[in-house]
Amino acid sequence: MTTPTVTPVGTTLDGLTEDAVRAVAAGEPDWLVDRRLAATKRFLDQAWPDSRTDEFWRSTPFAKRFDTSHPLIAEASSDAAVPTSLVASLELTTAQLRIVDGEVVEASVPAELAALGVVVTDLRTAAEEHADLVRDHLGSLTTSGEGSGADEDRTISVNDAAWTAGAFIHVPAEVELTDPIGVHVHVSRAGAHLPRVLAVLGHHAKATIYLEHTSDEGVDALVDEVVEVIALDAAKVDVVSLHEWAMGVSHLALHKFGAHRDAQVRHSAIVAGGATVRLRPECDLLGPGASVRPLGIYYADEGQWFDLQPYVRHLAPKATSDVLYKGALQGRSRTVFRGNVFVHKDAVGTVTDENNRSLILTEGARADATPFLEIECADITAGHGSATGQIDARHLFYLEARGIPRAQALRMLVHGFFREVLTEIDLPGVEERALAHIERELAATDLDRLGINDAALRDELG
Amino acid sequence: MADLEIRDLTVEVDGSDILRGVDLDLDKGKTIALMGPNGSGKSTLAYAIAGHPAYDITGGTIRWQGTDLVELTPDERARLGVFLAMQYPVEVPGVSLTNFLRTAVNATSGQDVPIREFMQRLRDEMAALDVDESFLQRSVNEGFSGGEKKRFEILQMALLKPQLAVLDETDSGLDVDALKTVSEGVNRLSGPDLGTLIITHYTRILRYIAPDEVHVMFEGRIVASGGPELADELEARGYDHLKTSV
């Protein structure tokens, strides 16, 4: 079969119509077109989020941070300056897929992996060649309603209706991959970009996926991304999401996992770039014994707004979740952490914990944190907490008293703040990449102006 | 002039006078003990020497080999050879012990000590102080018991090789065996190039580390000075009689 060519669709997100969606869907099988049109109906019935009325948007002004009047982009610019992805830089023999400006420009699977039945391909192609899998799972975590996360939010239905370029990953049952699969989304053209990812792991399969996001400097774009990952019984999936946009990009992202019996999910977000990133790493724990570990590292600088909303739903007994997000802020920047853990009345034996820590380095930055728990079941173990603070003057004094100059001591303490998360993301190249972001941000700040919390010093007066 | 020369030192914390005119001399090669009841200002003197930011020096001087430390930042003092073994070492999460020690050694020695040589020295000193090698994997003071923290302070002293060591209640919280190990560690470091100021409430550490002089602080002043026999006298009579004598 051939991959259908995408014709320019000539619509903005605001002006999305059935006709425009039909143009995006040109050449796709009927069942897929029908699904898109159903999503279009939802889209047309909905409004964009309103920060005055929508609880989940209370902290982030949608209209100010996301421009929905952008034209939909579905074709790669020929002169896009696509940087080498982290996965490509590791020089592994692994599968990679690249989406540039709403178009899949490259998808490759080495013969060894293809022989195992591993699929990494354009989602449109997959809709033909792996129709059963795509049919079963595409949209299963965003649109199926009862029990599995119907979304009232236009930011999701717009992607369900009009995603332009998609990645499909299938790791068959009992296939365990060691090297990460790379999915690289790059933006070089101003406008609205709607990338989509669907990954399905069969029972006892194991895979790591690096989802990388980059853009050309100075490009003004809105990226509305939906990622669905289905981990069937006892599958193990590790997703690393690197947000390395240049300043012109605003990113809406839903990364949603369905974890079946005994499946293990880990999502590690490293958020460093972009004007606005609103990331929803979500997981439905659907089967007994499933577990999820949402991890996050973020570092916001002048003008950046990061809104992080991990959401875990315990829908089955004896599942575990442990959320840990740590962020630093400097300049006039803003971060929002709104974590939520829902425990269904049948989810007996749930073990859950949820933590957020923010380190405010300079004046003018603001961090909001609300770790929620919604519990319908009594027989569980649950914890949650958040703390926002500055560099602890006691720590600083201890290092300085050993001869370490202030600037170096501060750098060590910021690294130390992130260490807990970094140590855990033991995947090739990721720690180095995160450290490089931390170093770059530290280099951009005036260490003499860092706020120091000296209230704690009083504790040790004697 | 003594190597360490403290003159008429007055220190305030949160607006209240803690030190009210302290004079003290210490030469390299000597060990002196500063004793006194709780709240007399002993720890304040230790922190003032090290440059703790919560202590306001309102008058007087702390000269170390001719340089007034009062004007210097804590790290500058440390690089001049001043070391404070803290009474309550703080836990510094996420900062690895090995990285911290190496950075501190490089900063105070002014040299980039090769990693292999550094690790060898570190392992030797750890063995001498009976510190388990598993500590190399940990963060600074994190999850250490009180005794482990004190040992780790002396381990740092051994690696940084200061010329002035202030030991602030290093004996508190140590059982007899640990006290012995730590005292032996300090004694091993003693010599013509090190002046040691031992701050203690009790005399028991002085059974292992013999002071050349003993000074007694009370209400922010040195009220008695003498030889080792002064410690024995305090042991016998306690601090209460000081209250009537001043």
Q: Is the pLDDT of residue A153 over 90?
A: no
**Across A260-333, where does the E strand assignment appear?**
264-271, 276-285, 291-300, 305-308, 311-314, 320-329
Query: What is the reported pLDDT for A462?
Result: 43
B39 reaches A (C-beta below 8 A) = yes
Q: What is the mean pLDDT of chain B?
A: 94
> What is the per-residue pLDDT across B103-134, written as a single tens digit (0 to 9) for each?
999 999 999 999 999 999 999 999 999 999 99
> What is the per-residue pLDDT across B84-103, written as a single tens digit (0 to 9) for each?
999 999 999 999 999 999 99
Q: Could you say which of B73, B90, B104 has the minimum Cβ distance to residue A402?
A: B104
Q: Quick one: average pLDDT of B202-208?
A: 92
Tell which wins on pLDDT, A80 or A218: A218
> What is the per-residue pLDDT across A11-44, written as a single tens digit (0 to 9) for each?
999 999 999 999 999 999 999 999 999 999 999 9
Q: Where are the alpha helices (DSSP H) in A361-448?
A: 393-400, 406-424, 430-443
Q: Is the pLDDT of residue B136 over 50?
A: yes
Q: Quick one: average pLDDT of A403-419?
A: 96
Query: What is the reported pLDDT for B151?
Result: 94
Taking one residue from A and the other from B, the number of pairs with CB-CB distance under 8 angstroms is: 100
The whole-angstrom separation of Cα A442 and Cα A392 is: 17
In the numeric block, the tokens 């903005």 are attached to A12
For residue B123, tell me if it sits in a domain: no
Q: Is the pLDDT of residue A148 over 50?
A: no
Q: What are the structural domain ranges in chain A?
A: 18-287
The whole-angstrom separation of Cα A352 and Cα A383 is: 6
Q: Which residues of B are less than 8 Å from A405 in CB distance? A: 75, 107
Q: Could you say which of A402, A409, A418 has the minimum Cβ distance to residue B160?
A: A402
Q: Is B79's CB within 8 Å of A419's CB?
A: no
Which pTM does this prediction carry?
A: 0.93
For residue B147, tell me if it sits in a domain: no
Q: Quick one: average pLDDT of A160-179?
A: 97
ipTM score of complex? 0.97
Q: Is the pLDDT of residue A253 over 50?
A: yes
Query: What is the reported pLDDT for A77?
Result: 81
Confidence of residue A445 (pLDDT cuts 50, 70, 90): confident
Which of B50, B53, B62 is CA-nearest to residue B12? B53
**DSSP conformation class of A12:** B
For residue B185, tell me if it sits in a domain: yes
Q: Is the pLDDT of residue A233 over 80?
A: yes
The fraction of chain A above a pLDDT of 90, given in percent, is 87
For residue B106, tell me if it sits in a domain: no
- The whole-angstrom distance between residue A257's C-alpha and the CA centroid of its chain comes to 11
Confidence of residue B21 (pLDDT cuts 50, 70, 90): very high
Q: What is the mean pLDDT of chain A?
A: 93
Confidence of residue A459 (pLDDT cuts 50, 70, 90): low
Residue in A closest to B89 by C-alpha: A398
Query: What is the reported pLDDT for A147?
Result: 39
Q: Is A457's CB within 8 Å of B88's CB?
A: no
Q: Which residues of B are less than 8 Å from A398 in CB distance? A: 86, 89-90, 92, 140
Report the residue of B42, B52, B102 to disrupt the A interface, i.e. the one with the largest count of A CBs within 10 Å. Answer: B52
The fraction of chain B above a pLDDT of 70, given in percent, is 98
Which of B23, B35, B28, B29 is CA-nearest to residue B217? B35
Confidence of residue A7 (pLDDT cuts 50, 70, 90): very low
Q: Quick one: average pLDDT of A361-381?
A: 94
Residue in A closest to B42 by C-alpha: A462
Q: Quick one: average pLDDT of A210-215?
A: 98
Residue A77: other Cβ atoms inside 10 A: 18
Residues 177-216, chain B, touching A (beta carbon < 8 A): none
Number of structural domains in chain B: 1
Q: Is the pLDDT of residue B60 over 80?
A: yes
Residues 387-416, chain A, touching B (beta carbon < 8 A): 392-395, 397-406, 408-409, 412-413, 415-416
Q: Is A397's CB within 8 Å of B53's CB?
A: yes
Cβ B198 vs Cβ B211: under 8 Å: yes
For residue B192, tell me if it sits in a domain: yes
> What is the per-residue pLDDT across A37-78, written as a single tens digit (0 to 9) for each?
999 999 999 999 998 888 889 899 999 999 999 999 998 887
- The whole-angstrom distance between residue A362's C-alpha and the CA centroid of its chain comes to 26
Query: What is the reported pLDDT for A461?
Result: 53
For residue B79, tell me if it sits in a domain: yes
The fraction of chain A above a pLDDT of 70, given in percent, is 95
Q: Could you say which of A406, A418, A454 has the minimum Cβ distance to residue B54?
A: A454
Q: What Rg do the C-alpha atoms of chain B give, in angstroms?
A: 18
The whole-angstrom separation of Cα B111 and Cα B121 is: 15
The whole-angstrom separation of Cα A106 and Cα A96 is: 8
B165 reaches A (C-beta below 8 A) = no
Q: Is A399's CB within 8 Å of B100's CB?
A: yes
> What is the per-residue pLDDT across A125-143, written as a single tens digit (0 to 9) for each?
999 999 999 999 999 998 6
Q: Quick one: average pLDDT of A367-389?
A: 94
For residue B29, tell me if it sits in a domain: yes
Confidence of residue A458 (pLDDT cuts 50, 70, 90): low
Q: Which residues of B are less than 8 Å from A394 in CB distance? A: 90
Q: Which residues of B are less than 8 Å from A457 in CB distance? A: 52-54
Amino acid identity for residue A397 in this structure: F
Cβ A263 vs Cβ A202: under 8 Å: no
CB burial readout A274-295, b (16+ within 10 A) else e: bbbbbbbbbbbbbbebbbbbbb
Q: Which residues of B are less than 8 Å from A451 in CB distance? A: none
Q: CB-based contacts of A348: which residues, under 8 Å, 6+ apart?
A: A317, A318, A377, A379, A380
Query: What is the reported pLDDT for A6?
Result: 43
Termini Cα distance of chain B = 29
Give the CATH number for residue B15.
3.40.50.300
> What is the per-residue pLDDT across A308-352, written as a single tens digit (0 to 9) for each?
999 999 999 999 999 999 999 999 999 999 999 999 999 999 999
Name beta bridge partners: A181.
Answer: A209
Q: Which residues of A are less than 8 Å from B92 in CB distance? A: 395, 398-399, 413, 416
Residue in A closest to B46 by C-alpha: A462
Cβ A146 vs Cβ A313: under 8 Å: no
Residue in A closest to B88 by C-alpha: A460
**DSSP conformation class of B137:** G
Residue B189: other Cβ atoms inside 10 A: 16
Residues 5-34, chain B, touching A (beta carbon < 8 A): 13-14
The H or E element spanning position B158 is helix B146-160
Q: Quick one: average pLDDT of A298-310?
A: 97
Residue in B closest to A405 by C-alpha: B75
Q: Is the pLDDT of residue A150 over 50?
A: no
> What is the per-residue pLDDT across B24-55, written as a single tens digit (0 to 9) for each?
999 999 999 999 999 999 999 999 999 999 99
Confidence of residue A4 (pLDDT cuts 50, 70, 90): very low
Q: Which residues of A are less than 8 Å from B43 in CB distance? A: 462
Query: What is the reported pLDDT for B245?
Result: 58
A204 reaches B (C-beta below 8 A) = no
Residue in B closest to A420 by C-alpha: B94
Tell which wins on pLDDT, A285 or A52: A285
State the smallest CA–CA distance between residue A381 and chain B in angstroms: 24
Name beta bridge partners: B31.
Answer: B196
Q: Domain containing B238: what range?
A: 4-92+163-245
For residue B115, tell me if it sits in a domain: no
Query: What is the reported pLDDT for A125?
Result: 97
Confidence of residue A1 (pLDDT cuts 50, 70, 90): very low
Query: What is the reported pLDDT for A290?
Result: 98
State the smallest CA–CA distance between residue A391 and chain B in angstroms: 11
Q: Is B75's CB within 8 Å of A409's CB?
A: yes
Tell which wins on pLDDT, B7 or A452: B7
